Structure 1
Amino acid sequence: MVSHSLSSKQYGVTLLVLFFLGIVFLSVFVSDINLLSSVPRITGFSVTALTFSAGPIGFVVSLTFLVMLTWKIVPSRAEWVKKMIHLGLILVVGFLCKTGFKQMTQSPRPYTEILAQNLLIPQPSHFYNLSALQKQQVIDEMEGMVSRWRRDQWQGERDYSFPSGHTIFAAICLAFFGNIFLQNRRYLLTLALSTWAIGVAYSRLWLGMHRPIDLLGSVVFVLLVYFVSVKLEKLSNKILARCLKAKVA
């Protein structure tokens, strides 16, 4: 039973491994990003849109769109409900652990190094000793030196760096929905989903929000969750069974 559940997720595991390798490629060949460079409007808008799509608000839109796609693809309504409950459990586990990891590692975001280099703070870790107002004022001091696309993101996310919540969400979507797409031979959808995921990862590097290790660690974490999600799947089946039982009663 367990081996069957794992084999049914082989496409998701493969996509996560390819996602990991894609981030390694970005780290080696596209990592030389100058956070102080001028930014064309179209570039700033595109990268911001990518990062928004996996952010605190935009992820709802992305998730809703993907869920609606699977509604049309998965033939059995009962099977679709099982999968959505399973997805919900994975997302809850993923984001709860992300919050805990950030507090455990307390890794400063890359942009705090820019603040330190410009003598606005003594060292990157000092940024997290400031009050919310002080953090805002320090980042505002970079006006004229950093594009507003990056500066706005810095103002919006002043917590720790490791792991990347955006990448965790993108990796979960890639593994879960990509697995469904490939099982149903929706190759173009899989390609589009993979391109979006790698775009989200790149946007986090480009904006100065994360280092490659943050992204790679996030993918490894999702891979581990995906492996143990067999137990989560059993739990989701129990939840569905109880709901159906209560409905009949």
Structure 2
Amino acid sequence: MKHSLSSNQYYVTLLILFFLGIMALSVFVNDIDLLSSVSVPVGFSATVLTFSAGPKGFVISLIVMLAISWKLIPTRSERVKKIVHLGLILVLGFGCKSALKQLTEIPRPYTEVLTQNLLIPQPSHFYNLSSLQKNEVIAEMGGIVSGWRTSQWQGERDYSFPSGHTIFAAVCLAFFGNIFLRNGRYLLTLAISAWAMGVAYSRLWFGMHRPIDLLGSVVFVLLIYLFADKLERLSDKILSWCLKAKLG
């Protein structure tokens, strides 16, 4: 474990700073009013940020980040290894995320708004509704809550903990931030850090998550990266197996 910590100090440092950033963010924005009016620039910016780490936009974000970092990885074989390693971490992260949501069954914050407006008796009741009923309940908030927010609520009606968007942002921050730092690209490191914080904030702003969801997600990714050496060896074995299968 000591060797893992020293050899992956950039991973660990970036994730710890992300964790501390979210803690500070939660102190300053712990009173987000989900019923407040929303300007177009604010709503659009939050939507773009959350889209960039969501089920439909994360591929675009990955392509952009890979394109930026491509020439910073010296050889073709090293690039392939990095991509396989990244893919393994993402599969592990998203797979465990889905399992944890079902295990914890914590309602999303916006269900509290639905409860306060007497549309459901309590937040947990939302998850007993059919898909159509969930849509109808959220639609009834249309005259009270900004469409920027309700459109997100319609698209994500599963449980709250952990945050898949934050897991993706944390993985990208650790993976690509490590490449940028090792190559002295500090502005790129700052840019990806700002993007990750923006994604985290957007999840709070939309009422999709609580700070503990985001913090737990970062801790989860940190635990994965503490074993990054073993994951790299596993990804090397997977790559070797694929090459042998192709040649065979």
Please give the range of the TM-score, normalised by the shorter of the 2 chains: over 0.9
Which residue matches 1:112?
111
Question: Map of 1:26-65 to 2, 5 A cutoff?
Answer: 26-65=25-64
Instruction: Judge conservation of contact 1:6–1:230 (CA < 8 Å) in 2.
Output: no
Which residue matches 1:142?
141
Aligned residues with identical type, % of pairs: 73
Matching residue's letter, 1:10: Q
Query: Structure 1 CA distance, aligned partners of 2:242 and 2:158?
Result: 38
1:56-84 deviation per Cα after TM superposition (whole angstroms, max 9, x unaligned):
01000001111122211111211111111
Instruction: Judge conservation of contact 2:8–2:228 (CA < 8 Å) in 1.
Output: no
1:172-229 deviation per Cα after TM superposition (whole angstroms, max 9, x unaligned):
0001110111011110110000000000000000000000000000000000011123
1:60-112 deviation per Cα after TM superposition (whole angstroms, max 9, x unaligned):
00011111222111112111111111111000000000000000000000000
Which residue matches 2:17?
18
- SS of structure 1 residue aligned to 2:227: helix
- SS of structure 1 residue aligned to 2:213: helix
More off after superposition, 29-38 vs 106-115: 29-38
Matching residue's letter, 1:73: L
Which residue matches 2:168?
169
Q: 1:5, CA displacement in angstroms?
A: 5.4
Which residue matches 2:201?
202
- SS of structure 2 residue aligned to 1:241: helix
Which residue matches 1:214?
213
Query: Structure 1 CA distance, aligned partners of 2:116 and 2:244?
Result: 62
TM-score (norm. length: structure 1): 0.96
Structure-2 change in CA distance of 1:61 and 1:212 (3 Å) = same
Task: Mark the runs of 5 or more structure 2 residues left unpaired by the alignment.
Answer: none
Instruction: Judge conservation of contact 2:5–2:12 (CA < 8 Å) in 1.
Output: no
Q: 1:6, CA displacement in angstroms?
A: 4.4
Query: Structure 2 CA distance, aligned partners of 1:175 and 1:241?
Result: 25
Q: 1:245, CA displacement in angstroms?
A: 3.9
Query: Structure 1 CA distance, aligned partners of 2:244 and 2:158?
Result: 43
Instruction: Judge conservation of contact 1:24–1:212 (CA < 8 Å) in 2.
Output: yes
Which residue matches 1:233?
232
Aligned residues: 248
Which residue matches 1:129?
128
- SS of structure 2 residue aligned to 1:224: helix
1:11-30 deviation per Cα after TM superposition (whole angstroms, max 9, x unaligned):
11101000000000011112
Q: 1:243, CA displacement in angstroms?
A: 3.5
Cα-Cα RMSD: 1.3
- SS of structure 2 residue aligned to 1:143: coil
Matching residue's letter, 2:16: V
Q: 1:239, CA displacement in angstroms?
A: 2.1
Structure-2 change in CA distance of 1:67 and 1:4 (3 Å) = farther
Which residue matches 1:178?
177
Matching residue's letter, 2:120: I
- SS of structure 2 residue aligned to 1:71: helix
Task: Mark the runs of 5 or more structure 1 residues left unpaired by the alignment.
Answer: none
Query: Structure 1 CA distance, aligned partners of 2:200 and 2:159?
Result: 17
- SS of structure 2 residue aligned to 1:215: helix
